[in-house]
Amino acid sequence: MAKKIVSILMLSVIILLSSIILPLSTLAFLPQLTVIEWSIELSNGKVTIYAISSEDDSMSNPDYKLLPYHWYTTAKYYVNPSNKYGFSVSDVVNAIKASAEAWDSQTSAQVFNYMGTTSRSAGRYDGYNVISWGRYRAGVIAVTYIWQVGGRIVETDTRLNTYYKWSLNGEAGKMDVQNIMTHEFGHWCGLDDLYDDKDYWLTMYGYADFGETYKRTLGYGDILGLQAVYGA
């Protein structure tokens, strides 16, 4: 009998404690949202173009900058292929998978895992890492949403701005899906934008332009940054 009373007492103490601690801990673990917008080249005056190398020097440029957070597990991502550009589902998925593979092929860690298509939208904290097209303001090509808790990313979404025209093969006057997504996946990996002219040819250079495809392939600094996070 006495034992039973003790254990019932213990139980109520545990319930009481957890009713205090649980709301506190959920508050502490509420993910912080960071929104990384990718501006169209020269649109916000942050860069001067006079010092850009005329030749692609990305394989000898070791520059990179890390974000204060990254994924500690494989980022399982879904693609919403719905678009107004006439792209087939498989062409969209293949372009985005190629973007992820550019990073994954440079580390022994498995950074990304393609899970399938979805009808979900990017930009919502819903437990799914989603890439989709969607509306956004002019001047921003794509936007990556990062939800993190104490430096650990718990969800990442990327929205491609329907304000712009898009292409799967680097057409003039359009944004190339693979080019843009390779850069955005760099943010998923924990890399930040670089705004110096000397970093123009790196994938993590902070501006992009129509018809551009050179960011599909990583430069030396992009790879060094990835490996600083995930190992070689």
Nearer Cβ to Zn ion, position 78 or 188? Answer: 188
Mention every residue, 6+ apart, whose C-beta is less than 8 A from residue 158. 122, 130, 131, 142, 143, 144, 145, 181, 184, 185, 187, 188
CB of 45 to Zn ion, least distance (A): 17
Nearer Cβ to Zn ion, position 118 or 199? Answer: 199
CB of 132 to Zn ion, least distance (A): 17
The contact set with Zn ion (CB under 5 A) reads 38, 193
Nearer Cβ to Zn ion, position 176 or 193? Answer: 193
CB of 172 to Zn ion, least distance (A): 22
Count the Cβ atoms, other than its own, within 10 Å of residue 114: 15
Environment class of residue 5 by beta-carbon count within 10 Å: exposed (0-12), middle (13-18) or buried (19+)?
Answer: exposed
CB of 28 to Zn ion, least distance (A): 29
Nearer Cβ to Zn ion, position 130 or 204? Answer: 204
- Identity at 168, one-letter amino acid code: L
Is residue 113 a contact partner of residue 75, using CB atoms and an 8 Å limit? Answer: yes
